[in-house]
């Protein structure tokens, strides 16, 4: 009974509504269509406006920690210089230089999450050359040696293919380093970058 | 409304709670797609053809009646709106569309919005049906989280889009049917005519709504003829509805003739041609076997079983626990059964998209089936809890498939993002995507490939035709680990369900053809010695 009453009320309301719409149907239908199109246009503009910055193909990569065998707060050559955006200049405070102890020396770079890195480039300082080094990466796949060589020379950056592996941390071991052709106890690296990524240091490293 | 006697599902929720829950789901749908839109680049198959059609129509509206002279409303409205509204979404470049990739993706964006509108409309329909709202909510969730919607949500050739006009028509017919039964005096002929017009509009949006329009008209009017004393009145209504159904086809036929298109290529003949073109291949397994496989792949055995139980319960008249009146439910069950049988035994190619217009209704019976199975448990609350558990378990397979499909939707975009980020000054080139004319960024021949800079990056996405031309490249790509790869729609069961009956090879286990991949050109050429 209650349902029947509800239905009767609903029916009369629908009928009233339909009658009202019918009386001004062409105007109402046109207005609704115009409103819908205008709404879609506004949505499109807003979406494109909000969406533009998201399409930057250069992705941010956050380094949460960098450590090496010669880190000290007062050290102007600490490892955070590896990501200062100034490769190969070699001035004090713009590159990483290890302690003057016999090699090997290491740098450990940790990210905030896994990144699909295609490659990594290691830049020499202006006067120094990395003669032997190895690179290990760690991710969900475990730890893997991806690069090991001896006898590197030249000013060109050393490109290490990482094949899009999702990597959480990278450890670079410098086994031999030279300054003007002579062996040197310290290890030096001017800069490191990851093609396609803009490196951002987390606050604790800035 | 008349309610049949018998126990009902003890638990229910208020209308407000139902609307709130559904609105949250709709919000979630929009949030999910819009936030991930960065990586949505479509299927690049029929969506591409629909896009090209839209661009042609904007240039010359008479092109609406060009080749593939059907689904005019879809091409006219959905195909041209993104261009007219300048939906030029910031995008990386697809080789098929080059500078127009942004507009193509605007097309996909509009389709996502339209499917959102469809979900909202379905919520209203479920509300008006006066089902038990828990059952209605379960049916709603099953539809929204199902793999079919996830697959078609950004694709403009989605067969579900026809429901946008069909559902209001069906709701009016449902109201009209109820009113007629209650013998409320009213001139229903005109309303029946407009129902027909809405049905014909829905068919002009996507022709596959015919698979639900036909059973609905047949069941509702034949039942009215049998049960009503005023048979002449019913016959008038049926004729008025039929006249409405013919309006849009007649108008398009006339306009097509006015555009100078020969009758043999007119809309009606195009439908017939489509019908013939979609005849099942004798070389493949029979369509009914394929349908069973597809239903179990997309929805899983448990859900299909529940649908059968729910349909049987409704046909037997014991689906009253759902809250809706017995007659309406039984009629709806007959409609769905006829709609499914039509597909199973018609001899047409089994493509899952053809039943996508039936699925929202089918999910109502899945929920009813769960309640029917749970009715063996004593106690109303325990019964409701068991029904909920049954539904959750049954939904595991489709939801898992849906997640796989959603990840696959993003696959191509993720690969493009990665390649753009990793290119570092080098060019990003493509192997041609099958069936489309390669754009400037795609390599067409072996010679072109060999002339590329070794440090260029090469993206492959369904390079079907290129690999068929150069089988040795496929062997190389099989050996060579890609720099980066992501699964695409071609790796999913949902894609198999849409393409297998067309004779397309099963690419799910062929990563080179089904994944989007990035290679370094130099690596590829090293492994591919010159002939």
Q: Is B421–A48 a contact, with Cβ atoms under 8 angstroms apart?
A: no
Largest CA distance in chain A: 102
Residue ranges per structural domain of chain A: 2-54, 59-205
**Percentage helix, strand, coil for chain B under 3-state DSSP, each rounded to 5:** 70, 5, 25
CA–chain centroid gap for B62, Å, is: 28
User: What is the torsional sign of CA B372, B378, B379, B383?
Assistant: negative
User: What is d(CA B129, CA B1) in angstroms, rounded to the nearest whole number?
Assistant: 11
> pLDDT of B487-522, one tens digit each?
999 999 999 999 888 888 888 888 999 999 999 999
Give whichever of A131-145, B81-95, B188-202, B392-406 has the largest mean pLDDT. B392-406
Q: Is B421–A58 a contact, with Cβ atoms under 8 angstroms apart?
A: yes
User: What is d(CA A132, CA B108) in angstroms, rounded to the nearest whole number?
Assistant: 52
Tell me the residues of chain B between 35 and 94 that have a Cβ less than 8 Å away from chain A.
Answer: 37-38, 81, 85-92
Tokens of B242: 């039929």
Tokens of B373: 């199975």
Among A1, A164, A193, A199, the strongest candidate for a mutation testing the B interface, having the largest count of B CBs within 10 A, is: A164
Residue B315 burial (CB < 10 Å; 0-12/13-18/19+)? middle
Could you tell me if B482 and B518 are in contact, meaning their C-beta atoms sit under 8 angstroms apart? yes
- pLDDT-based confidence at A22, cuts 50/70/90? low
Residue B226 scores a pLDDT above 90? no
Tell me the residues of chain A between 129 and 168 that have a Cβ less than 8 Å away from chain B.
Answer: 163-164
Tokens of B251: 């108008």
What is the least distance, in Å, from the CA of A12 to any CA of chain B? 11
- pLDDT-based confidence at B5, cuts 50/70/90? very low
Rounded mean pLDDT of B270-282? 82
User: What is the torsional sign of CA B5, B8, B12, B18?
Assistant: negative
Chain B contact set for A196 (CB, 8 A): 418, 420-424
Tokens of B120: 């909202």
Higher pLDDT, B189 or B302: B302
Reduce the secondary structure of B289-338 to three states and give it as a string.
HHHHHHHHHHCCHHHHHHHHHHHHHHHCCCHHHHCCCHHHHHHHHHHHHH
Tokens of B246: 């013919």
CATH number for region A59-205: 2.60.120.260
pLDDT of residue A194: 86
Residue A11 burial (CB < 10 Å; 0-12/13-18/19+)? middle
Among A25, A196, A197, A199, the strongest candidate for a mutation testing the B interface, having the largest count of B CBs within 10 A, is: A196
- pLDDT-based confidence at A98, cuts 50/70/90? confident
- pLDDT-based confidence at A188, cuts 50/70/90? confident
User: What is d(CA B122, CA B143) in angstroms, rounded to the nearest whole number?
Assistant: 9
Chain B contact set for A37 (CB, 8 A): 81, 85
Element (H, E) at B252: helix B231-258
What is the least distance, in Å, from the CA of A4 to any CA of chain B? 5
Q: Is B483–A14 a contact, with Cβ atoms under 8 angstroms apart?
A: no
Tell me which chain B residue has its CA closest to the CA of residue A120.
B422
Q: What separation in angstroms does the CA of B452 have from each of B400, B439, B483?
A: 41, 16, 17
Nearest to B348, CA basis, from B216, B210, B249, B252: B210
Higher pLDDT, A11 or B223: B223
Q: Would strands A96-97 and A128-139 be described as parallel, antiparallel, or unpaired?
A: unpaired
Element (H, E) at B458: strand B457-460
Residue A203 burial (CB < 10 Å; 0-12/13-18/19+)? exposed
Of A40, A116, A163, the CB nearest to B81: A40
> pLDDT of B421-462, one tens digit each?
887 667 888 998 887 766 667 788 888 888 888 888 999 999
Q: Would strands A197-201 and A59-68 be described as parallel, antiparallel, or unpaired?
A: parallel
User: What is d(CA B518, CA B510) in angstroms, rounded to the nearest whole number?
Assistant: 16
Neighbouring-strand partners of residue A171: A108, A136
Q: Is A163–B86 a contact, with Cβ atoms under 8 angstroms apart?
A: no
């Amino acid at each position: 009974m209650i349902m029947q009453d509800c239905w009767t009320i609903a029916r009369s309301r629908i009928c009233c509504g339909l009658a009202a719409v019918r009386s001004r149907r062409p105007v109402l239908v046109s207005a609704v269509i115009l409103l819908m199109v205008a709404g879609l246009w506004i949505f499109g503009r807003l979406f494109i406006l909000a969406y533009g910055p998201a399409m930057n193909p250069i992705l941010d990569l956050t380094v949460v920690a960098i450590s090496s065998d010669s880190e000290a707060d007062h050290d102007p050559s600490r490892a955070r210089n590896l990501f200062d955006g100034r490769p190969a200049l070699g001035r004090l405070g713009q590159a990483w230089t290890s302690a003057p102890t016999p090699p090997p020396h290491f740098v450990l770079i940790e990210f905030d999450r896994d990144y699909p890195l295609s490659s990594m480039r290691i830049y020499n300082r202006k006067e120094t050359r990395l003669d032997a080094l190895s690179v290990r990466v760690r991710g969900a796949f475990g730890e893997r040696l991806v690069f090991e060589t001896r006898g590197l020379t030249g000013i060109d950056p050393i490109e290490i293919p990482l094949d899009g592996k999702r990597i959480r941390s990278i450890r670079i071991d410098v086994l031999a380093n030279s300054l003007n052709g002579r062996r040197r106890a310290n290890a030096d690296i001017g800069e490191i970058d990851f093609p396609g990524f803009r490196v951002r240091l987390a606050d604790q490293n800035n | 409304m008349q309610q049949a006697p018998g126990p009902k599902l003890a638990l229910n929720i208020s209308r407000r709670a139902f609307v709130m829950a559904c609105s949250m789901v709709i919000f979630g749908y929009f949030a999910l797609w819009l936030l991930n839109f960065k990586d949505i680049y479509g299927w690049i198959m029929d969506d591409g053809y629909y896009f090209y059609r839209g661009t042609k129509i904007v240039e010359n509206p008479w092109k609406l009646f060009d080749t593939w002279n059907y689904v005019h409303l879809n091409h006219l409205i959905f195909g041209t709106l993104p261009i007219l509204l300048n939906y030029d979404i910031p995008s990386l470049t697809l080789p098929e569309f080059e500078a127009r990739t942004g507009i193509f993706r605007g097309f996909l964006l509009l389709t996502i919005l339209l499917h959102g509108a469809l979900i909202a409309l379905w919520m209203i329909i479920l509300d008006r049906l006066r089902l038990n709202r828990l059952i209605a909510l379960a049916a709603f969730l099953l539809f929204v989280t199902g793999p079919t919607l996830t697959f078609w949500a950004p694709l403009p050739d989605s067969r579900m889009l026809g429901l946008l006009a069909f559902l209001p028509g069906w709701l009016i017919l449902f109201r009209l049917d109820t009113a007629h039964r209650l013998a409320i005096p009213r001139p229903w002929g005109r309303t029946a005519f407009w129902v027909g017009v809405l049905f014909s509009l829905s068919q002009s949006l996507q022709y596959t709504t015919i698979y639900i329009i036909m059973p609905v008209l047949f069941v509702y009017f034949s039942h009215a003829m049998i049960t009503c004393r005023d048979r002449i009145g019913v016959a008038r209504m049926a004729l008025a509805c039929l006249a409405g159904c013919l309006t849009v086809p007649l108008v398009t036929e006339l306009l097509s003739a006015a555009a100078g298109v020969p009758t043999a290529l007119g809309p009606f003949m195009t439908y017939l041609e489509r019908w013939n073109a979609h005849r099942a291949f004798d070389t493949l397994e029979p369509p009914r076997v394929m349908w069973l496989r597809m239903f179990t792949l997309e929805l899983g055995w448990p859900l299909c079983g529940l649908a059968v139980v729910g349909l049987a319960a409704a046909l037997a008249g014991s689906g009253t626990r759902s809250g809706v009146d017995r007659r309406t439910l039984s009629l709806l069950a007959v409609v769905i059964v006829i709609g499914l049988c039509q597909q199973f035994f018609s001899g047409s190619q089994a493509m899952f998209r053809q039943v996508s217009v039936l699925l929202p209704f089918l999910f109502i019976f899945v929920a009813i089936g769960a309640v029917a199975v749970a009715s063996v448990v004593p106690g109303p609350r325990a019964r409701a809890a068991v029904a909920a558990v049954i539904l959750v378990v049954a939904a595991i397979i489709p939801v898992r498939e849906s997640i796989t499909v959603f990840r696959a939707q993003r696959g191509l975009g993720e690969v493009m993002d990665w390649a753009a980020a990793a290119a570092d000054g080098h060019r990003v080139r493509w192997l041609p995507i099958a069936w489309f004319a390669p754009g400037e960024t795609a390599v067409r021949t072996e010679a072109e490939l060999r002339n590329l800079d070794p440090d260029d990056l090469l993206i492959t996405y369904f390079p079907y035709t290129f690999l068929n031309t150069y089988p040795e490249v496929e062997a190389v790509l099989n050996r060579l680990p890609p720099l980066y790869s992501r699964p695409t729609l071609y790796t999913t069961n949902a894609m198999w369900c849409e393409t297998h009956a067309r004779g397309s090879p099963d690419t799910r286990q062929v990563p080179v053809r089904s994944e989007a991949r990035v290679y370094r050109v130099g690596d590829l050429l090293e492994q591919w010695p010159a002939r």
